[in-house]
Amino acid sequence: MYSISLLSLNTFGIPFYLGWERLGRLANYLDRLPFDLVCLQEIQQNAYAPLVERGLTTYPHSAYERHRYAPKGGLAIFSRIPWMDRRFEVYSERGTWSSISFADWALHKGIQSVNLEIGGLPVFVVNTHLNANYSGVWHQANHLTRILHRQVQQLTQAISSFPAESLVLICGDFNFPRSSYLYKELIARNHLVDPLADDKRPSYRPFPFVPSKWKTSLDYVLVRPPHQVGVVVSADLVTIEDTRSRLKIQRFLTDHNALTLEISWDSADLRSKSAERTGDRIGFQLLNA
């Protein structure tokens, strides 16, 4: 059997709320967890990326694209497994510098990916963070929702470029709920599986006085299984909190919950095409989501 596991987390790495000290503690916390890859969003200063990198001492492989003042997209991937290639694609539609989406435009939000090979199976890991919809309105006429829709279309093109025989894992902060047409289109057009689709726990933990509508799922770990290879998928939502600290302000590490994903498959499936197929893919099994 072969396997790969990852953790995806929005770090709340904005340039205030004790960001420097907090991100250092967050990195040390994550370094103790048993995942092959850690995919982070919202690393919003160039200095934050090496800070987190130093804390993740057991993750020797790092990917982030330094830009003017912060890594592109605020995205970073850290891995215990070496990869063969890495890419970053900026979303062509991010709003404008003169709009409410200024921060998303300036951060160069986009699609980060790394390409690995495990036991002969090509694996693509995609990390992304889409624009914020500050209105919380998800109908198609909403201007901010239309920006997100164009980003979903570009993300779909990126996913479709990966070979059908590869395992594709997509994670990040998508900034739209499961009830939105954006989520439904992303899942349907890319033949994705959301192992936490029936989990009602929110991935975002809003601060006090933030409207309750934001206490929902905005972060996802999604899977496109490979053709003719049976995979077993397990996922969970994990609260990230430094329980060893006495002070409440020090226990806080981020305003999002982490999502975890583990995929395993039998090496025999890579050597034989004789397994019974179900649709276009075979042997998909979901465990304790």
For residue 161, what are the domain limits? Answer: 2-287
* CA distance readout (Å), 134 to 70, 148, 233: 22, 12, 33
End-to-end CA distance of the chain: 20
3-class secondary-structure state, position 181 = helix
Residues in the chain: 289
Would you say 119 and 270 are in contact if contact means Cβ atoms under 8 Å apart? yes
**pTM assigned to the model:** 0.91
**What DSSP line would sit under 5-50, residue for residue?**
EEEEEEEEE-S-SSHHHHHHHHHHHHHTS--SEEEEEEE-STTHHH
Using an 8 Å Cβ cutoff, are 238 and 185 in contact? no
* Total domains in the fold of the chain: 1
- pLDDT for 19: 77
Q: Which pLDDT score is estimated for 275?
A: 42
pLDDT per residue of the chain (289 residues) written in tens, 0 to 9 = 899 999 999 999 887 656 788 899 999 999 999 999 999 999 999 999 999 999 999 999 999 999 988 999 999 999 999 999 999 999 999 998 888 888 899 999 999 999 999 999 999 999 999 999 988 888 999 999 999 999 999 999 999 999 999 999 999 999 999 999 999 999 999 999 999 999 999 999 877 667 777 788 999 999 999 987 889 999 999 999 887 777 777 788 898 999 999 999 987 666 554 344 333 344 567 765 4
Task: Residue 289: count other Cβ atoms within 10 Å of its Cβ.
Answer: 16
204: domain CATH number is 3.60.10.10
CA distance 222 to 170: 5
